[in-house]
Amino acid sequence: MADDSLADLKALSLQELSASTVSIASKSQQPISETPSAVFVISHEEIRRSGMQSIPELLRKVPGLEVARVDANQWAISSRGFNGIYANKLLVMMDGRTVYDPLNSGVYWNEQDYPLEDIDRIEVIRGPGATLWGSNAVNGVINIVTRSSQESQGLLLSGGTGKEEPGFGTFRYGGQLNPDFHYRVYGKYNHREDFHFGNGEKANDSLDMGRAGFRGDWAPDARKNLIVQGDYFNGDMQQSLSNIDTTMPISADNTKKYGGNVLLRWQQTLDNDSRLQIRSYFDHAVRNQSRLDYRRSTFDFDLQHNFRWQDHNLTWGTGYRYNSDLLAQKVALLHFDPTQRDVHLFNVFAQDEWRFFADDLRLIYGSKVEHNDFTGFEIQPSARLLWIPSQQHSVWGAVSRAVRVPARVDHDLNVLFNVAPDTTANVLGDDNFDSETAITYELGYRFFPSDAFNIDTTLFYSDYGRLSTTEPQSPIVSGQDTTIPFLIANKAKGETYGWETAVNWRASENWRLQGSYSLFGIALHRRDGSLDTAAEVAEGNSARNRVNLSSYLNLPHQLEFDAHWYYTDRLLNQVSAYHRLDLRLGWQPNLHFELAVGAQNLLDNRHLEFSPYLDNAVISSEFERNYYIKATVRY
């Protein structure tokens, strides 16, 4: 900061200070009470006090979000239904970089990690966010936001051991090159032990993963800022697979994974107070499995401009994504055709926030228009109305359309299953596969009687069309052998509905309570002519009722005692209801040291959380009781 602007700052009167506006918009988050969508934010403090060691586990507390551990290193996470290992109706981002994989539109959760101490917050939007964020934001958007380098200066070392994670550790150092440029570098390692199957046998599902990265923040003045960041990961993951040939036994599969990304973001406030953001990233991932080798490169460019005009706050933007992959066949029964594919995705969008009646009523409407190589143009509009009758209440309603564009598997998969002696099923992708669509109606109400208490409720109803099915075709007989082709098609539809409530109560200066309840219902239907008996499987992958309760208590002598209780109703796909209780005791004698001990899943020896069905060969194992100890040093 230059000396003359420092003097200007010093000379501001209190009146001028309170009238001054903040120049970079990204930092001024909208208060949740003024957001016309179902938003939930996990704060830095809640991350620290959760006792969790990984990003997917942190998401458990979000109402409306389904989080189930499939095995020691894989998760099934979805928003508002359609859960699976590669649940494909959820958009997940890290600092704006999309992390779902275009192979299957799912997220490889065990590759998404970061030093939790440097994550500022996790923002979760349930429901469609496609108008701004684009395809895959059908039922929700998760954005993991890391701290700026300025906020993570100095040395941090944390490490610990637990029954399920015998070794985990993080190193971070943040420094300053000059007053305008801050940076940090980090390294992180964790090892997860094998879980066990229901019969007590050890599952082969351990994980060894190391990662390293950096971030630099350059802010030459208050109106401009440039971020450069990058990460690299490398590790091995085990999983137990049911064999493609069902007559063969379970096989242990080892996947070698590595990859990295570099992201650049430039933000600037222009002379007319409008804001410009340019973001670009390159992302590369390699997964070498026993059945398939996969490598992918993604380049993304995104521009966004925001300005005010009278009572309107307009945002528009455009983007381009290039994706190139290579799928090398390793077993005779599984391949992709073509093995290599380049895909281009273009989009433009515009959204307007129009304020009436002294800002009490706001209409937010707009659309995204995307063009992809598989289905051509896709339109994803939404309209939202927010009414803030008083400081204590706000009501909102929304109608939106979102699509899930075809993934590589939908078009190019070619896999053979031995279903009976001499009979083979051949599942084939289809070039005519269309986007899955959803129209969602939402109604929300928030009540803030005081700063210490608030309650947030959302009701929703979604109508899905062109859902994916696998349609059997006429068998092909050649001598003794029969092959039944199955073609991936869009011959199902369905509805979901639900109720989500989150409560936040600061009972006293030293005690905070947080709770949530979610009710969810789903009905899927085969369209006329569909023969896919598995089309309704997704009905059985979501719990009807879920409850979370967290208590954060500060005790004398710098002690913290935290408790988290989770309840998930049964899944129809052979998973019983379960309770999970986590306790944590933390001690922070001074600024530089922190010690935490905890127990997870205290009331239960172990339980099953998810059971993949047909869509994936992974065999799930059971989540076990865990104890851990963790120490953190900061200088």
Which residues in this chain contact another protein in the complex, by CB under 8 A?
Answer: 1, 5-12, 14-25, 27-29, 31, 43-45, 48, 147-148, 150-154, 174-176, 179, 219, 222-223, 269, 451-452, 506, 509-510, 512, 554, 556, 558, 560, 588, 590-591, 594, 635
Minimal distance in Å, beta carbon 64 to another protein? 22
Partners of 298 in beta bridges: 283, 323
CB nearer to another protein: pick between 185 and 250: 185
CB nearer to another protein: pick between 48 and 341: 48
- Residue count of the chain: 635
Minimal distance in Å, beta carbon 10 to another protein? 6
CB nearer to another protein: pick between 344 and 593: 593
Minimal distance in Å, beta carbon 528 to another protein? 53
CB nearer to another protein: pick between 330 and 635: 635
**CA separation for the pair 241, 613 (Å, rounded):** 12
Minimal distance in Å, beta carbon 229 to another protein? 18
Burial 519-531 (b: 16+ CB within 10 A, else e): bbebebebbeebe
423-428 vs 413-420, strand pairing mode: antiparallel
| C-alpha radius of gyration, the chain, whole number | 25
Minimal distance in Å, beta carbon 222 to another protein? 4
Question: CB–CB of 531/471 below 8 Å?
Answer: yes
CB nearer to another protein: pick between 8 and 495: 8
CB nearer to another protein: pick between 181 and 497: 181
Minimal distance in Å, beta carbon 454 to another protein? 10
**CA separation for the pair 130, 139 (Å, rounded):** 9
**CA separation for the pair 192, 207 (Å, rounded):** 5
96: region left, alpha or beta (phi > 0 left; psi from -120 to 50 alpha): left
Structure tokens at 398: 């929304």
CB nearer to another protein: pick between 262 and 455: 455
Which amino acid is residue 281, in one-letter code?
A: Y
CB atoms within 10 A of CB 407: 24
91-94 vs 140-146, strand pairing mode: parallel
Which amino acid is residue 112, in one-letter code?
A: Q
Minimal distance in Å, beta carbon 120 to another protein? 9
First-to-final CA distance of the chain: 26
Minimal distance in Å, beta carbon 42 to another protein? 13
Minimal distance in Å, beta carbon 458 to another protein? 21
CB nearer to another protein: pick between 60 and 147: 147
**CA separation for the pair 18, 412 (Å, rounded):** 59
CB nearer to another protein: pick between 121 and 564: 121
Minimal distance in Å, beta carbon 198 to another protein? 39
- H/E stretch holding 214: strand 207-221
Minimal distance in Å, beta carbon 54 to another protein? 20
CB nearer to another protein: pick between 269 and 351: 269
Question: CB–CB of 502/495 below 8 Å?
Answer: no
**CA separation for the pair 415, 250 (Å, rounded):** 18
Structure tokens at 615: 């869509």
CB nearer to another protein: pick between 154 and 166: 154
Burial 350-389 (b: 16+ CB within 10 A, else e): bbebebeeeeeebebbbbbebebebbeebebbbebebebe
